[in-house]
Amino acid sequence: MPPLRTALLQSSGRLGDTAGNLKQLDEEAARAAQGGAGLLVTSEMFLTGYALDLQDVPGLAEEADGPSAVAIGEIARRHGIAVLYGYPERSGGAVYNAAQLIGPDGTALANYRKTHLFGCFEQDAFTPGDTPVVQADLNGLRVGIMICYDVEFPENVRAHALAGTDLLLVPTAQMHPFQFVAEQLVPVRAFENQMYIAYVNRTGPEGEFEFVGLSCLASPDGVTRTRAGRGEELVFGVADPELLAASRENNPYLRDRRPGLYASLV
């Protein structure tokens, strides 16, 4: 299998401006495809912005097959690139903090609802998802999806490892003073679970929050293959199946587990 060149779009977009954010996504998808990427990953809630007023969230939320999903499907198809985007999903009477993966042909491949909601804003605005492992196949890799706070729970990432995830996509809204998550925790998660992790953050001030950037692609050998700075940026990294296979052979965490000793965890 050839390596999957992956573009990480570190941007907060425009708060409350879905049309403007779709325009930016179209432009960045073109740049990513021109840079040889087969996958573009955006930040948490990229479609609408994160720091929304609570009363605005239901009106900005869309169904998984709503008009923005159709527009992003067309963007993906036109540029021949898969797109993972964060958005507020409306389903029945509930609203979820969600992320959807669209294939390069414009087809929806997977939709994930954030399972661990962070802080009062998220807990007031959203319903937590109840499916921890959501995956799709892309370019010969098993791709999984999480959102921000989810990756800070080791059980969550280990569940993906046991389900065979090769590349974990984590759109995020990581804020000051928790930048150690991007700098230290994410590369460790990649190593201990023997997978690639694409962690894609927002940046700059937004409402009461200060997002820290530092998006990265961490590899299963614990190396950070690409790292953004603190501003808006499009960076590229590669998920290499050969490196993944070699790393899994040399690092036996998953083979050496003793699940019978871990009953107290559940």
The residue annotated as part of the active site, out of 62, 148, 206, 216, is 148
H or E element that contains 245? helix 241-250
Q: What is the DSSP string of 67-105?
A: HHHHHHHHHHHHHT-EEEEEEEEEETTEEEEEEEEE-TT
- Calculate the alpha carbon distances from 194 to 36, 80, 168 in Å: 25, 29, 11
First to last CA, the chain: 37
How far apart, in whole angstroms, are the C-alpha atoms of residue 245 and residue 235? Answer: 24
Helix (H/G/I), strand (E/B), else coil: 49: coil
User: Can 216 be counted among the known catalytic residues?
Assistant: no
Query: Of 28, 62, 114, 216, which is the active-site residue?
Result: 114
Catalytic member of 28, 44, 122, 152: 44
Residue 206 and residue 182 in contact, taking contact as beta carbons nearer than 8 Å: no
Alpha-carbon gap, residue 57 to 59, rounded angstroms? 6
| Residue 114 falls in the annotated catalytic set | yes
Gap between the Cα atoms of 68 and 73, Å rounded: 8
DSSP 127: P
Cα separation, 253 vs 85, in Å, equals 31
Coil, strand or helix: which one is 232?
A: coil
- Residues tagged active-site: 44, 114, 148
